[in-house]
Amino acid sequence: MLQIDGTSTDGAPTARQRWLRLLSHAPLELLESAIGTLAGPNPQWLRRPETGLVMVQGRIGGTGARFNLGEVTVTRCALRTDPARIACREVGVAYVLGRSGRHAELAATADALLQDSSARTHVPADLLEHISAWLENKHAKRRAQAHATRVEFFTIARESAGEPAAQEAP
């Protein structure tokens, strides 16, 4: 169960970090059906959706020195929600992978609403769980696909264990 509040426990991601992650990974159709009507035609843009490159860094084994892994396409925006639609003073921010400005806009709208204790009720209560379940399902499918192609290298293990190497190509 995901907590929707601004509290932060030491080291662990805050509730906001968790929902920002989920919103940025959510499929556009799911966001469109849940947030699409709340977004309104005239959000107050602090930063219109803009697409650029972000350098992703990695660490080997999670502990080595940082190295640049490669650039990814990211779309970001910041907004206040359309005042004609919902009264909410918070600023919503979104960074999403890819080029979808609409995805960024919907994610930022949801972020703004979730931060405001009175406007939060407009967001479907089960939205985050839906996204979470959808993501889990997607990852499970990928794991299953990858698992089907898994190769067990028993042969090599047996060969190296004692068979003569005579059959090897010169």
Partner 1 sequence: MMSQAERLSEMDLRTVSGAFGEPVLGSQAVFRSALSAFSRPGRIQTVTSDAQNPPGTGAAAAALLLTLLDPDCTLWLAPRLACGPANAWLRFHTGCRIVADPAAARFAWSDADQLPSLSRFALGSEFEPELSCTCVVEVQALEQQHGWRLRGPGIQDRHHLAVTGLAAGFFAEWQANHALFPRGVDLLLCTGQQVAALARTTEMEA
The site for partner 1 (CB under 8 A) is made up of 44-48, 78, 89-91, 93, 115
Distance CA 163, CA 152 (A): 18
Distance CA 35, CA 114 (A): 11
Pick 14 or 134: Cβ nearer partner 1: 14
Pick 34 or 119: Cβ nearer partner 1: 119
The answer to whether 122 and 85 are in contact (CB under 8 A) is no
Measured from the Cβ of residue 109, the count of other Cβ atoms closer than 10 Å reads 30
Distance of CA 35 to the CA centre of its chain: 17
| Shortest Å distance, C-beta 98 to partner 1 | 21
| Shortest Å distance, C-beta 102 to partner 1 | 19
| Shortest Å distance, C-beta 162 to partner 1 | 54
| Shortest Å distance, C-beta 8 to partner 1 | 12
Give the three-class secondary structure for 83. coil
Pick 48 or 142: Cβ nearer partner 1: 48
Distance CA 77, CA 95 (A): 7
| Shortest Å distance, C-beta 114 to partner 1 | 13
Pick 109 or 115: Cβ nearer partner 1: 115
Distance CA 103, CA 117 (A): 23
| Residue 91 tokens, joined | 């600023």
Distance CA 129, CA 1 (A): 7
Pick 79 or 96: Cβ nearer partner 1: 79
